[in-house]
Amino acid sequence: MRGYLLAIFLSAVFLYYVLHCILWRTNDYGVTPMEMKQRNKIRSCLSKPAFASLLRYHQFHPFLCAANFKNTASFYGSDKFDLPYGMKASATHFRLALWKLPNCDIFDEFDNVPCKKCVVVGNGGILKNKTLGEKIDSYDVIIRMNNGPVLGHEEEVGRRTTFRLFYPESVFSDPNHNDPNTTVILTAFKPLDLKWLWELLTGGKISPNGFWKEPALNLIYKPYQIRILDPYITRMAAYELLHFPKVFPKNQERHLEMDFRSQKSINIKSCLANFEGKGQLLNVYFVNFQLLLS
């Protein structure tokens, strides 16, 4: 479970960077494939952000699309990695799940506001009584994780959610938590996660076998709200941000449940950073990143 939480947390952070790369048209690695350029129909900003040096990752579409997911996997090497880092041996599961999703766009087709401000909001109790809800809601893109509630905590965490990352064991099942304006993003860790989504979308029966806890047995979101995260993001989060080893010792199983005994906790505390450059003031508010691994 700790590995799952860490991976989805870092995926959210990496998604934050990806969105900025797209919005600011930042790409230090070369030309984006044509289909990615056509997919990212977002007006770019006229000047680079003050923190452009942080945006050193590929500009690419973060969500998989049914029409070209195999080409995307080949381009970024995801066809050479198993889940959660790629789709090797899982292409059929991806195809079935994506076939049921009518949309893979980042934003609504009518949403062409450039220079969006993004914020990632964690689920820790440190937000309680801070009354940051209004500040959080002032951002254009609000990224949340798992089943961290908004309902009943609006004063502390805000009301709006643009993107919510989840996996089968962490998604809301109570319809009261469904915001029709939210896009939910499946972060697949195993082929069973994709099968779970496909079964729910086709009215199949869900078996809890193979999950670390019982997954959601009903889906409160409509197909148009659902996306599947490109496993390339999970791979880069693990290798580039967390520095997971790319080659594990033979006596270790390659998965995310690693031994963190030497590292009791990771605390990325609340911080407010104001960046000013080229006549623009850009607020980047990283709220309450706290992950306990003890």
Average pLDDT of the segment spanning 125-153: 92
**Of the candidates 285, 15, 237, the residue with the CA atom closest to the CA atom of residue 145:** 15
Q: Across the strands, what pairs with 142?
A: 119
Domain range list for the chain? 2-292
Q: Look at residue 91 in the predicted model and tell me its pLDDT.
A: 96
Q: Look at residue 292 in the predicted model and tell me its pLDDT.
A: 27
Give yes or no for residue 86 having a pLDDT over 70.
Answer: yes
Contact 238, 85 (CB under 8 A): yes
78 dihedral zone (left: phi>0; alpha: psi -120 to 50; beta): alpha
Give yes or no for residue 175 having a pLDDT over 80.
Answer: yes
Q: Look at residue 254 in the predicted model and tell me its pLDDT.
A: 46
For 2-292, CATH number out of 3.90.1480, 3.40.50, 1.10.3470, 1.20.1410 equals 3.90.1480
287 CB contacts (<8 Å, ≥6 apart)?
119, 120, 121, 122, 127, 132, 136, 270
Q: Is the dihedral of CA 155, 181, 121, 275 positive or negative?
A: negative
How many whole angstroms separate alpha carbon 138 and alpha carbon 181? 16
Confidence of residue 256 (pLDDT cuts 50, 70, 90): very low
How many whole angstroms separate alpha carbon 106 and alpha carbon 83? 23
DSSP state of 286: E
pTM assigned to the model = 0.75
Q: Across the strands, what pairs with 158?
A: none
What values do phi and psi take at 8, rounded to 5? -70, -30
